[in-house]
Amino acid sequence: MGGKEMMRLKAKPVMKGVAEGKAIVSRMPISFTGGMDPDTGNIREPGHDLEGQCVAGKILVFPTGKGSTTGSWQYYAAFKRGNAPKGIINVSAEGVVTVSAIITSTPMVHELEKDPLACIETGDYVRIDADNGIVEIEKTDR
């Protein structure tokens, strides 16, 4: 067991607040309408790289949003049912995901100084400080 590797990156805040937890990383855009089940927090889009995986309570890292503009309602329902992520990191924030974070006060950042999809792997422990625009990544021993 070696020492844990830490990384600290600057990021642009989308929704303020602080959240930490295990990361779940997707390389594909996500649609909350049709693409995520509010009853489980599972990604359900056929062929998606997170298909069948649960994002609830995690730090969800993905490129950007896509699909229906009604996605913020589905995200809100998932949040109220305890099945939303704790925090969101996007490469580039799109309107539907941004509004989802705003109405649920979910800490969210985008435009990191380095590509989050290259720096963060599923299972890493990630802390988002959206008040100060900082993301801290603790790599998991592999």
Catalytic residue numbers?
68
* Structural element, H or E, at residue 123: none
Shortest Cβ 33–another protein spacing (Å)? 6
Tokens of residue 15, six digits = 């929704």
Of the two residues 22 and 81, which places its CB atom closer to another protein in the complex?
81
**Separation CA 47–CA 30 (nearest Å):** 12
* DSSP conformation class of 86: S
Task: Check residue 95 for interaction with another protein (CB under 8 A).
Answer: yes
The total of other beta-carbon atoms located within 10 Å of residue 79's CB is 20
Single residue of 9, 11, 30, 38 touching another protein by CB under 8 A: 38
Considering only the C-alpha atoms of the chain, give the largest distance between any 2 of them, rounded to a whole number of Å: 46
Residue type present at position 74: Q
Q: Does 37 bind another protein (CB under 8 A)?
A: no
Q: Is 66 in the site for another protein (CB under 8 A)?
A: yes
Taking CB under 8 A as the criterion, the residue among 80, 113, 115, 132 binding another protein is 80
Q: Which positions touch another protein (CB under 8 A)?
A: 12-15, 33-34, 38, 66-74, 76-77, 79-81, 93-96, 98-99, 102-103, 110
